[in-house]
Chains A and B, each alone.
Chain A
Amino acid sequence: MTTKELLVRLTAAPSVSGAENAAAGVIADALAGTADLFETDPLCNLKATLNPDAPAEDGLLLLAHMDKIGFIVTGVDEATGFLRIEKCGGSDLRCAPAMRVKVLGKRALPGVIISTPPHLATPDAANKALPVDKLGVDCGLPYEDMKDLVVPGDRVMEDYPLYELGETKVCGPYLDDCAGVAAVIRAAGIYKEKGGTRRLECVFTTREEVGGQGAETASFTSGCGAAIAVDVSFAKAPGVPETVEAALGSGPMIGCAPVLHKDISDRLKALAEEKNIPYTVEVMGRSTGTDADDALTAGGGKKTGLISIPLRNMHTPDETADVRDIEAAASLLAAFALCEKEDDR
């Protein structure tokens, strides 16, 4: 399976925060034959371990979140049959009008988020995104049908194909963090192929988009002394600060932040240089806003690093990433995991 094909499967799997089981299934399939042990925990994190008999303290924990932003149903409108919704994660509501969605009710229902016709917009609201309580999902069915098919708490996901932009880029919802998930899956494959002997725990976390509870508990359970979170971050684009160095295609971003362990950041940079893997450095002044923040303080604490895939249009249906960056991130992660001695890390 090519990385693009893997991304198509991952992005299509329903896994809005707190309801990630379908994505866990797709990931487990992709890692069948690579991982030796699959486990889940009470928060539904999926852990795929290579070399589970090797000591945990020498092992490496990789984290990528498998949950996706979306919406959660709060009610069915009796007059119209439309669904009332609340945000489940940080969807960019400027993009919500006329957005294609899939409602994950008793069965999956196609739907669309309403787009207010211009004549209904008050002058001061005309150029502003509507708040979520003024939105609704139209599934084309009357209340009598909808009330039996959808209940409050059901999730709503963005529903678009993954488009190819040029030779190497892909565009669609949920590359955050399917790009990271794909990088970890690919890294595990390389590690296995190269005969890595240490314990490698690949944890696909839940609930990152609503607070990182999955990473918090999964990292507590993991005995690995070191952890690397794999997520997406802002790539150069109009509106993004000029200080952002990463562009689509410039390779993974290696995180440097007070909360991240300098040895890990330095080792990642050295390995990238040594293996001729393109990279940029992403500097953050405090925490990272990723699963890394939760991993580093879990249990007695872990040496933690962060790798990010450059992404445009984050939290919109137009998220755009470069497959070359995902593959380069996988190579870098595998190289890090393959370092024989702790001192080499």
Chain B
Amino acid sequence: MKELMKTLCSVDGTSGRETRVRETILSLIGDGHDTRVDALGNLIVNVKGRERAKNKVMLSAHMDEVGVIASYITGAGLVKFTNVGSIQPSALLGKTVKFENGTVGAVGVKPVHLCDGDERTALPAIKDLYLDIGAESKEEAEKLVRPGDTAVFTSVWTEMGDRVLSKALDDRTGCAILVDLIRAGVKYDLTVVFNTMEEVGARGAKAAAFSVAPDYAIVLESTTAADVIGAPEDKRVCLLGEGAVINFMDRGTVYDRALYDKAFAVANENGIPLQPKTAVAGGNDAGSIHVSRGGVKTVTLDVPTRYIHSPSSVCDINDVKALRALAEKLAEAFASADE
């Protein structure tokens, strides 16, 4: 699983630019699957199970990661940009990003030595930041980067015991779990969707859910874990090493109570650690999926992830394994349910 995650996290693809991620997934799952790419770039895989399903179950994860998009090249050859997906300015300051053609950009910052008083600790807004790509003029810069080009955080995949550190854990972890499921084979027929454009409003999922038209949907995500030094106990949201996470409500969805209970029951039966997400925050593809067509019964399961939407997110491989196990068992339960 770590190898799959490393492979997928190392590919770059921000919202709307997921082609490389999709191609990597296609090569990882290999031939012999019924696959389709729709107009928005979603990858839809109909996975043949050993048995026929009573209900149509869709498992999904999103391929896109947060990043930046070049908006303007200044006369001095600097690149102005805006964020693609939600990024805190502090996650960008002093960091580097990489464009699709390999050009590295450094996020510049006024030297702290030259700042006075409050300016020394004030975080500039993203609109005031720029990228230095080593060019000395507009002409030189435009040979490397044009407005509309996208870049993602540079990051070196790092293992720290059971924990891994990388960019894009949100949501290549979900993608890795789904690739692993497809490769291992499943009990009941199901549809696996790798979505585009989650970070900019769950747009890929909206189109994919319409065309797949599932009875049940399970969204695999990464969610904020705030179990860091100094965090109040009740503000930690979820904890690394304590298993998979399930949402009861977030900014996009109020989840079906019966499914929430069912997930805990399945987790208990199978000895899989599962914790509730103890904050009503964030949103994900479930927000688009559960209101698709006449409505879809939807569950979101997550891997607790620290420093999400930064170049250095951290998650625990044991939680990833728990999520993989629960996703499979819950999909089986939904596929074979009597209604």
- Contact indicator A166/B133 (Cβ below 8 Å): yes
- Contact indicator B114/A239 (Cβ below 8 Å): yes
- Chain B nearest CB, measured from A144 CB (Å): 12
Interface digits, B83-113 against A, CB 8 Å rule (1 contact, 0 not)?
0000011110111100000001111111111
- Contact indicator A169/B160 (Cβ below 8 Å): no
A239 to B120, CA, bound (A): 12
If over half of A's interface residues share one DSSP class (helix, strand or loop), that class is named, otherwise mixed; here it is: loop
Question: If the complex has contacts A80-B227, A120-B226, A127-B123, are A166 and B134 also in contact, measured as CB distance less than 8 A?
Answer: yes
A80 to B241, CA, bound (A): 12
B279-312 CB contacts (< 8 Å) to partner A: 279, 281, 306-308, 310-312
Q: List 4 additional contacts besides A96-B90, A119-B235, A140-B162; criterion CB under 8 Å.
A: A94-B122, A117-B237, A313-B94, A316-B94
Residues on B with beta carbons closer than 8 Å to the beta carbon of A141: 160-161, 163
**In the complex, A8 has a CB within 8 A of chain B:** no
A316 to B133, CA, bound (A): 16
Question: If the complex has contacts A163-B154, A169-B134, are A313 and B307 also in contact, measured as CB distance less than 8 A?
Answer: no
Q: Which residue of B lies closest to A84 (CB)?
A: B229
Residues on B with beta carbons closer than 8 Å to the beta carbon of A317: 94-96
Q: Interface of B with A (CB < 8 Å)?
A: 78, 88-91, 93-96, 104-114, 120-123, 125, 130, 132-136, 140, 144, 154, 156, 158, 160-163, 165, 224, 226-231, 235, 237, 279, 281, 306-308, 310-312, 314
- Contact indicator B161/A145 (Cβ below 8 Å): yes
Residues on B with beta carbons closer than 8 Å to the beta carbon of A238: 78, 108, 110, 130
**In the complex, A93 has a CB within 8 A of chain B:** yes
Residues on B with beta carbons closer than 8 Å to the beta carbon of A316: 93-94, 109
Residues on B with beta carbons closer than 8 Å to the beta carbon of A99: 94, 312
How many residues of chain A are within 8 Å of chain B by beta carbon?
64
Question: If the complex has contacts A95-B94, A165-B133, are A100 and B108 also in contact, measured as CB distance less than 8 A?
Answer: no
Of B104, B123, B281, the residue contacting A165 (CB under 8 A) is B104
Residues on B with beta carbons closer than 8 Å to the beta carbon of A131: 121
- Contact indicator A171/B228 (Cβ below 8 Å): no
- Contact indicator B93/A314 (Cβ below 8 Å): no
A15 to B288, CA, bound (A): 51
A93 to B108, CA, bound (A): 14
- Chain A nearest CB, measured from B18 CB (Å): 23
Interface digits, A162-204 against B, CB 8 Å rule (1 contact, 0 not)?
0111111101000000000000000000000000000000000
Interface digits, A249-266 against B, CB 8 Å rule (1 contact, 0 not)?
100000000000000000
Q: Which residue of B lies closest to A133 (CB)?
A: B230
**In the complex, A241 has a CB within 8 A of chain B:** yes
Of B122, B158, B230, the residue contacting A136 (CB under 8 A) is B230
Shortest Cβ-Cβ A-B pairs, 5 listed: A166-B134, A95-B94, A239-B110, A165-B134, A140-B160
If over half of B's interface residues share one DSSP class (helix, strand or loop), that class is named, otherwise mixed; here it is: loop
A245 to B135, CA, bound (A): 18
Residues on B with beta carbons closer than 8 Å to the beta carbon of A79: 229
A316 to B229, CA, bound (A): 23
Flag the segment in A42-50, A105-113, A270-278, A295-303 that touches B.
A105-113
Q: Which residue of B lies closest to A93 (CB)?
A: B121
**In the complex, A128 has a CB within 8 A of chain B:** yes
**In the complex, A240 has a CB within 8 A of chain B:** yes
A249 to B134, CA, bound (A): 10
Of A100, A116, A315, the residue contacting B311 (CB under 8 A) is A100
- Chain B nearest CB, measured from A278 CB (Å): 14
- Chain B nearest CB, measured from A245 CB (Å): 15
**In the complex, A86 has a CB within 8 A of chain B:** no
A88-144 CB contacts (< 8 Å) to partner B: 90, 92-100, 109-112, 114-120, 127-129, 131, 134, 136, 138-141
Of B109, B281, B312, the residue contacting A119 (CB under 8 A) is B281
Residues on B with beta carbons closer than 8 Å to the beta carbon of A315: 111-113
Question: If the complex has contacts A84-B229, A140-B314, A320-B106, are A314 and B133 also in contact, measured as CB distance less than 8 A?
Answer: no
A145 to B163, CA, bound (A): 14
Q: Which residue of A lies closest to B102 (CB)?
A: A164
A295-340 CB contacts (< 8 Å) to partner B: 312-318, 320
Residues on A with beta carbons closer than 8 Å to the beta carbon of B158: 100, 110
**In the complex, A77 has a CB within 8 A of chain B:** yes
Of A129, A134, A239, A247, the residue contacting B111 (CB under 8 A) is A239
- Contact indicator A112/B104 (Cβ below 8 Å): no
Residues on B with beta carbons closer than 8 Å to the beta carbon of A248: 136
Q: Which residue of A lies closest to B313 (CB)?
A: A98
Q: Which of A134, A138, A234 has the most CB of B within 10 A?
A: A138
**In the complex, A71 has a CB within 8 A of chain B:** no
A173 to B269, CA, bound (A): 51
- Chain A nearest CB, measured from B28 CB (Å): 26
A128 to B120, CA, bound (A): 9
Residues on B with beta carbons closer than 8 Å to the beta carbon of A169: 134
- Chain B nearest CB, measured from A14 CB (Å): 17
Residues on A with beta carbons closer than 8 Å to the beta carbon of B95: 95, 98, 317-318
**In the complex, A161 has a CB within 8 A of chain B:** yes
Residues on B with beta carbons closer than 8 Å to the beta carbon of A82: 228-229
